[in-house]
A and B are shown apart, each in its own frame.
Chain A
């Protein structure tokens, strides 16, 4: 029988989210308010919001599951994520913020269109296609996690769990826009950090202490304590490690993360926010991996490693904290789904309807359209989630890399290389995205299961660079890049 305490904690949390949605509503009546919170966010909000968006249920269920399944080999993921977050804030954030402020851009396609002086709206159409397809997959994976979480913790059944998760996030995202998204992400990020600091500590104590835990892991499988895992120092092992590190590449250019930089109040927030973002991701990832490792000693025979967090919370915490853990899992899911929905909605309304098609409508009408589109996209994600139950970790990584490989190479080159051309950028987006999809469908299983981010990112980078070499950069754009560099100054 489900504990009323757990239900009470969950209901209380969901009510807070609804209130945040209502609070955000007053600033969501034009496009800049709905999609980037009027560019008024402070450092601490963008730091936690960025990390909470980037991590999702993958962190709470997937990465703890990885810690459970492969132990120390999961440290390579920590390396990739911490380095990725740090490099994004240090190298990408300030020039990107400067560019998007000059352009009054509120989406990444806005930025690409202005950066390359595009009159044909090709970046808008291409971005919409990529974003919509990947957001559907990503959202479906998160809703799958919602179904699993509700079922594991409360026994609601998978379908009901999917419905409840979507209903709540759709309400506060539709009503409150990006302001509600960012502040709820902040709350969710704090909860996630608290959980991921507490979980491994309690797990290690329950396992009898650090040394007994390590001894138990070694007894189960010595590879759990080896950096190269069961692969050893082989080609497969090196590629597995490289694939794990490559997860961090997405932080450098994924549009759902870059939006936070656009929404910062000013450059100073970016300088201050980076430190907190790095500390936050360290806490997230180290906590998740060690939590999973502790769980391996306590519940060694789990059929699905991705249920280790609910298993541990039910076994070792009183009902109130079990409720908190369910809330944290939901927080992780919602903090990603809300950002994805806003991203996809902005792609349709701002990039396609307002800019590419040139529909002449008031800001209020467009923001209302944005809200409607948000609901439709969420509904499609729901249908996919209800039709197929996939392993969260793999599906999320595919969608994560699809978006990242389309945008990251092009964003990086556009910010740092004056030779980047419009044709090169288009080629980079198409090749990066296509390589990711083709690799997963046709090659991955036969090539050491190499994570698709690696071939996708480098193919996109190479395509953008090569095509740019044979085409002409706009002279005004080149001068503008130099002006941006002068304004932002050297990195170090």
Chain B
């Protein structure tokens, strides 16, 4: 009874904050509601007994992802009014799509039938005597080790991608090259020009910055 009440309470707050994320005009408010949504989703995980997932959700999504979102929203000069300009125009189509998807989902929910063999086929039933983090670790590092490694490569690719797309060598910064300076000799930088009386001196060809170094 209390568990049911708690479920409805937290899922209501979750849905309400999700609506607020999409509709609020101030992007900072939207991110704050997103955090509220994450926390409530974490509580829902707690209610089903998956405490490890609840903590991970709170730590990773609230602690890292949402904070980065907040940084991006505050640091980048994004014109959110211009970004929301098309909202009025696209809202009817979006609502129509949402309605169709809702009807379809309702159709699926109405025909809810789990395959008879489904229960027996369930690969890893939740063990009773260990906490969920132990159970998860036991699976992740034994039966699913290759997949775990594969997800590591996915993260490596994400990192390479971020560097490939954004990193630039700063070629313009000036730094002193001592050996080049010491190796210079006067012939490279100094030109003695004969200046006949009354004619002025012809200037030698101009040297570029790289040549003088």
Is A bound to B?
no
